[in-house]
A = this chain, B = another copy of it.
């Protein structure tokens, strides 16, 4: 039918991404679909594919917003330095996952098909978190390589505890228990590297 041009390409992208965020937030990642977004913004499925390369590309454009917000939330709540900063970051991460479970879990429920690598623009955003954590480890060890290793180890570990905890695979209940395990992790790990 008609070329509507009610909205510019950029406006359409923003509308689609916002509508997608809303669906994930309210109904969970498993209930997200590109067709549902199209219906919600009053366009057809063809328009979505006109704007995004593929279903995965669309999802990544939604998830990167969550990633940025999460990163911002963590940075905001990290007021101390060194060891305290690391504890604050972990607590904020858990809080974000708890408050916005559907959006947080969409970050990990979406898996690229087979072994397709993440596009650079998304990958960079992931790396930013490690840089942030790494900078605070630098204040503790003063050894760039050790700080990098420690920040990756701690961050991935916290994520694992959070994920298994949130999905009921740790036989623990609530964010408080998750916090206890990450506390145990950080406390003992930091003791270890300071020996």
What are 25 A-B contacts defined by CB distance under 8 Å? Answer: A29-B111, A30-B111, A109-B109, A123-B168, A127-B171, A130-B171, A149-B181, A150-B184, A153-B184, A156-B161, A156-B163, A156-B165, A157-B161, A158-B160, A159-B160, A160-B162, A160-B163, A163-B163, A188-B188, A188-B191, A188-B192, A189-B192, A191-B191, A191-B192, A191-B195
Contacts of A45 in B (CB 8 A): none
Query: Is residue A139 contacting chain B, with contact meaning CB distance below 8 A?
Result: no
- As for how many copies of this chain the complex holds, the number is 2
CA gap between A118 and B195 in the complex, in Å: 42
- Shortest A146–chain B CB gap in Å is 9
> Is A170 located at the chain interface by the 8 A CB criterion?
yes
Whether the pair B114, A28 counts as a contact (CB closer than 8 A) is yes
Contact check, B149 vs A184: say whether CB atoms are below 8 A apart: yes
8 A Cβ contacts from A174-195 to B = 180-182, 184-185, 187-193, 195
Min C-beta distance of A68 to chain B, whole Å: 16
Partner of A157 from the list B117, B160, B187 (CB cut-off 8 Å) is B160
Main secondary structure of the interface of A (DSSP, over half): helix
Most chain B Cβ neighbours within 10 Å, of A171, A184, A190: A184
**Which range contains the number of A residues in contact with the other chain?**
35 or more
Which one, B149, B150, B152, B160, contacts A156 given CB within 8 A?
Answer: B160
| Nearest chain B residue, comparing its CB with the CB of A185 | B153
B130 touches A153 (CB 8 A): no
Q: How far is the CB of A115 from chain B (nearest CB, A)?
A: 8
Q: Beyond A188-B189, A189-B188, is A181–B165 a contact (Cβ under 8 Å)?
A: no
Closest-by-CB residue of B relative to A158 is B160
Bound complex: CA of A181 vs CA of B185, how far in Å?
Answer: 14
